[in-house]
Amino acid sequence: MTTAITDLSISEVNKLISSLGAPSYRAKQLLSWVYQRLVISFDEMTDLPVSFRQKLAEQTKLYTLTLVHEVSAKDGTVKVLFSLDDGKTVEAALMRSLANDGKHRYTVCISTQVGCPIGCPFCATGQQGFERNLTPGEIIDQVLYFARQLQGRSNGREGERISNLVFMGMGEPLANYDAFWRAIQILNSPDGFGLSARSMTISTTGLLPQIKRLSREKLQVGLAISLHASDNTLRNKLVPVNKKYPLEELIPTCRDYFEKTGRRVSFEYVLFEGINDSLSQAQSLAELIHGLNCHVNLISANSTTNQTFRPSPRDKVLAFQKELQNRGINCTLRQSRGQEIDAGCGQLRSRFASDKSRQPKR
């Protein structure tokens, strides 16, 4: 199978260049074309000898993803479905927001697995089951796709760049630790994509051994815990991995993570009507995380055909937020984005899975 450049670490690219008999400085040139100039063919690498480009084309490839479908929402969210070399599909999304300085901020939401092994009942991806892990290149290429868009290769918005990456798409990132961490290292490297580690956030349902491993890493990435409940009985239902790593183990691990890294933990809490949105549950949540240097992101659930998990009414969302704030918890309300384009994790993939007539765009 042909090797993708984006599957190779920086040191492996150097070894590749050496194996092809080229001088070492060609590695930096190649990496620049891939990660900075964002080319999609070896022919565009005009400062590389033609014979060298031919060797590269024979032994490697530049991208691992094929566009299946792309759709945009009124709020600027772009949702994309990609096909992989084996025909499996994954989603990624680009979200636009306005920063305090008046400039647009662009966040890419990345998938790390095909499907997901956790099985959260409210999540479309969780109901698809787990198929396989993504490679580092398949993770990175989601980022490069949107970087090309913002660069102006496909929509003319020249000069705009990706501001942040969130590993909150399909899959549990920490269950594919080695591949996603290699992707982060390449995306962070000055010889790679060059994005600050502080601009990257990893979302997990709470895999404790991997959180502990993450606390020993040098890069200053953010950590977000998908919490969604403040007691084990409810969280066992909403986030089944809680049965293995319950709250009385998860919260101390988060405290230890902060002590080791100095980085504040975020808790994601999606509000579902009549399930986890009462004031008593807000009070219980405040007690659970009291004294922990953390931030709570309250999220309005996406509207779906699943009537069990309906979005909380706005007045209950605001009351929940106020109760947390009154109890000294730092929290913000994050609006769901791109609802009219199936922007919730796994929704677009689910819709396309039932329509075999749709073919990837090559």
Domain containing residue 149: CATH number: 3.20.20.70
Indicate if the pLDDT at residue 123 is higher than 70.
yes
Indicate whether 75 belongs to any domain.
yes
- Are residues 208 and 340 located together in one domain of the fold? yes
Q: Which of 120, 254, 331, 345 is catalytic?
A: 345
Q: Is residue 360 scored above 60 in pLDDT?
A: no
Per-residue pLDDT tens over the stretch 144-195: 999 999 987 444 445 689 999 999 999 999 999 999 999 999 999 999 999 9
Q: Are residues 334 and 349 in the same domain?
A: yes
- CB-side neighbour CA atoms (13 Å) of 23: 4
One domain, residues 76 and 166: yes
217 located within any domain:
yes
Q: Please check whether residues 48 and 189 belong to one and the same domain.
A: no
Q: What is the pLDDT of residue 154?
A: 44
Q: How high does pLDDT run on average in the chain?
A: 91
Return the pLDDT at 159: 63
Domain shared by 117 and 17, yes or no: no
Q: Which residue has the higher pLDDT, 133 or 101?
A: 133
Residues 139 and 49 in one domain: no
In a domain, 127, yes or no: yes
Instruction: Out of 37, 61, 85, pick the residue that ends a domain.
Output: 61
* 315 and 328 together in one domain: yes
The whole-angstrom separation of Cα 315 and Cα 71 is 31
Average pLDDT of span 92-108: 88
Task: Check whether residue 207 and residue 146 sit in a common domain.
Answer: yes
Q: What value does the mean pLDDT take over residues 309-326? A: 96
- pLDDT for 157: 46
Closest to 96 in 3D by CA, of 70, 71, 73, 67: 73
Domain-located, residue 361: no
CB of 113 within 8 A of CB of 123?
Answer: no
Q: Is 149 inside a domain boundary?
A: yes
Residues 331-343: pLDDT tens digits?
999 866 655 545 4
pTM metric for this prediction: 0.91
State which residues form the domain around 192: 66-353
User: Is the pLDDT higher at 153 or at 117?
Assistant: 117
Domain presence at residue 291 = yes
Alpha carbons 70 and 309: distance in angstroms, whole number? 26
362 part of a folded domain: no
Q: Is 71 found in the same domain as 47? A: no
Choosing from 46, 61, 76, the residue where a domain stops is 61
Domain boundary among 43, 61, 79: 61
Average pLDDT, integer, range 100-122: 91
Of 307 and 4, the one with more pLDDT: 4
Give the domain CATH number at 22: 1.10.150.530
- 195 vs 123, more confident: 195
| Structural domain count, the chain | 2
Are 156 and 55 in the same domain?
Answer: no
> Of 12, 70, 91, 172, which residue is the catalytic one?
91
- Residue 169 sits at the vertex; the CA angle it makes with 179 and 152, to the nearest 5 degrees, is 90
What does the pLDDT look like over 27-72, one tens digit per residue? 999 999 999 999 999 999 999 999 999 999 999 999 999 999 999 9
Q: Is there a domain that residue 303 lies in?
A: yes
How far is 98 from 76, CA to CA, in rounded Å?
11
Q: Catalytic residue at 91?
A: yes
Element (H, E) at 106: strand 104-109
Q: Which two tokens stand for residue 18?
A: 């050496």
Residues 42 and 97 in one domain: no
Q: Give the C-alpha separation, 245 to 105, whole Å.
A: 35
Q: How far is CA 10 from CA 28, 191, 239, 302, in A?
A: 9, 7, 37, 39
pLDDT tens-digit readout, 241-255: 999 999 999 999 999
